[in-house]
């Protein structure tokens, strides 16, 4: 994915945001529905798929590995699976663009099948560590050839006679957990992942829906997730609700922009993904969950959000796994709170699309917000953001969106150096916020 030239944008003080909106389908479920459909028997039908660059790259990768993946005229996606062990070596490289989820889960999917594939990504993804996945997958008998520092480009040689493993996660990572479980699906015997700190559980929920023999139990406060390999998965019909990580941006925009009153419809409310909502409510945010219901095994609902006077809080480290992608936009919310907000347990932010912790702090300071930080914590002194700074996004979609939201309530406009990468997770982001009444446009507008 190469962007010929950066596309700067600016945002400026806006009046009350009003309206009802939907946000793109959940990114985590979109990736998984394509992958699990690819190794299931039969035709999986997916509605609400997030058609962003990250997910489209996953769709292309599954097709290259032998599944039949097609978008239908009615907007649904159909995936004709090849069954357990049916993936084949692709003819060309598998390009995952900017998606760590896509490449890491795909590595697990391929690890226990005798194929060879070369995985590549864009400049940002190529800086991200893959050793956290290659280490456990190597225990199955999988071989890897990686660039220096266990990074992409990477060639995987899947194991033809994989052996089941038991692996304790050294860090809270749903991606690593999922990669190991997917390798276990095609490995005779029982593969177990021990998770000391619970992370998002979409993989477990969706694998069960596809018919996997999977068991989750609590042992001494740790989650033990075991999958019995060698059992075929059965194609499913999947309806994907709105992504709570995407909903975070209009939600915070409404909270910090005086006079706002919006409803964000059909948002997934999986308990492992609602840390930001809990935190913003702790800060005094007027967020009401309406129309709660179950859809596809996941709880969903509508978020009714009104402008609020926020106060600083301490966000405990144990909440980090349930909102790790939302800390950039939480830091923006904290900038407009009364008092200091302290966020802890943030070491994972050092190895996201960028060093998100450093990028967030630099952007805050450029726009006149006082901060302090350490290896795994950030303090934001609230009271409002003067604005005026030009934020370096480091090709990170969440940094870009967060600082565009900041500008809607800052005293003068906020600028970002490049908005192109927003499309990796939230196509139509600028247009959607502007429909609510936001003022986002060309740099200096």
Show which residues are catalytic: 325
Helices of type H across 290-371: 327-335, 356-366
Contacts of range 175-179, beta carbons closer than 8 Å, 24 or more positions apart: 175/100, 175/101, 175/104, 175/105, 175/133, 176/104, 176/132, 176/133, 176/136, 177/203, 177/225, 178/32, 178/104, 178/105, 178/108, 178/203, 179/104, 179/105, 179/107, 179/108, 179/111, 179/133, 179/136, 179/137
Give counts: helices (H), strands (E), the chain. 12, 26
User: Are 379 and 340 in contact, with CB atoms under 8 Å apart?
Assistant: yes
Query: Residue 220: exposed, middle, or buried by beta-carbon count in 10 A (0-12, 13-18, 19+)?
Result: exposed
* Beta-sheet strands, E only, within 9-101: 9-12, 18-22, 40-41, 43-47, 68-71, 77-80, 94-95
Query: Rounded to an integer, what distance in angstroms lies between the CA atom of residue 202 and that of residue 215?
Result: 14
Query: Rounded to an integer, what distance in angstroms lies between the CA atom of residue 291 and that of residue 303?
Result: 9
For residue 176, which of 117, 144, 130, 217 has the smallest C-alpha distance?
130
Q: Which helix (H) or strand (E) holds 27?
A: helix 27-39
Helices of type H across 46-155: 53-64, 100-111, 131-138
Other CB atoms within 10 Å distance of the CB of residue 132: 18
Other CB atoms within 10 Å distance of the CB of residue 429: 23
- All residues at 6 or more sequence positions from 105 whose CB lies less than 8 Å from its CB, including other chains: 31, 32, 35, 175, 178, 179, 182
Query: Residue 442: exposed, middle, or buried by beta-carbon count in 10 A (0-12, 13-18, 19+)?
Result: exposed
Position of tokens 């196509």? Answer: 427
For residue 356, which of 388, 382, 320 has the smallest C-alpha distance?
320
Query: Rounded to an integer, what distance in angstroms lies between the CA atom of residue 86 and that of residue 88?
Result: 6
């Amino acid at each position: 994915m190469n962007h010929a030239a950066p596309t700067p944008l600016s945002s400026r003080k806006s009046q009350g945001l009003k309206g009802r909106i939907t946000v793109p389908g959940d990114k985590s479920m979109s990736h998984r529905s394509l992958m699990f459909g690819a190794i299931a028997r039969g035709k999986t039908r997916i509605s609400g798929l997030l058609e962003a660059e990250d997910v489209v790259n996953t769709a292309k990768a599954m097709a290259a590995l032998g599944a039949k993946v097609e978008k239908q005229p009615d907007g649904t996606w159909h995936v004709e699976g090849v069954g357990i062990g049916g993936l084949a070596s692709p003819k060309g490289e598998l390009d995952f663009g900017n998606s760590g989820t896509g490449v890491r889960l795909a590595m697990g999917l391929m690890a226990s099948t005798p194929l060879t594939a070369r995985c590549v990504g864009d400049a940002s993804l190529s800086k991200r560590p893959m050793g956290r996945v290659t280490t456990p997958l190597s225990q199955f008998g999988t071989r890897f050839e990686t660039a220096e520092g266990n990074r992409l480009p990477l060639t995987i040689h899947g194991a033809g006679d994989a052996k089941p493993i038991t692996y304790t996660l050294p860090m809270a990572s749903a991606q690593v957990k999922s990669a190991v479980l997917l390798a276990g699906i095609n490995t005779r015997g029982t593969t177990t992942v021990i998770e000391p700190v619970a992370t998002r559980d979409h993989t477990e929920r969706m694998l069960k829906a596809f018919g996997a023999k999977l068991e989750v139990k609590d042992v001494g406060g740790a989650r033990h997730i075991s999958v019995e390999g060698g059992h075929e998965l059965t194609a499913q019909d999947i309806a994907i609700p709105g992504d709570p990580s995407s909903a975070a941006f209009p939600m915070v925009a409404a909270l910090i922009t005086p006079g706002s009153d919006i409803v964000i419809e059909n948002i997934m409310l999986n308990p492992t993904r609602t840390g930001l909502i809990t935190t913003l409510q702790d800060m005094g945010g007027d967020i009401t969950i309406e129309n709660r219901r179950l859809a596809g095994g996941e709880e969903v609902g509508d978020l009714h959000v009104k402008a609020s006077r926020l106060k600083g809080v301490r966000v405990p480290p144990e909440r980090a796994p349930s909102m790790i992608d939302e800390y950039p936009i939480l830091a923006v919310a904290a900038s407009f709170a009364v008092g200091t907000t302290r966020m802890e347990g943030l070491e994972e932010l050092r190895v996201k699309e960028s060093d998100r912790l450093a990028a967030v702090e630099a952007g805050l300071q450029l726009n006149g917000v006082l901060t302090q930080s350490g290896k795994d914590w950030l303090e934001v002194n609230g009271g409002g953001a003067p604005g005026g700074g030009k934020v370096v996004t480091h090709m990170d979609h969440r940094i870009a969106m967060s600082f565009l939201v900041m500008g809607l309530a800052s005293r003068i406009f906020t600028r970002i150096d490049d908005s192109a990468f927003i499309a990796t997770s939230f196509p139509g982001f600028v247009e959607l916020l502007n429909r609510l009444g936001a003022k986002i446009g060309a740099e200096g507008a």
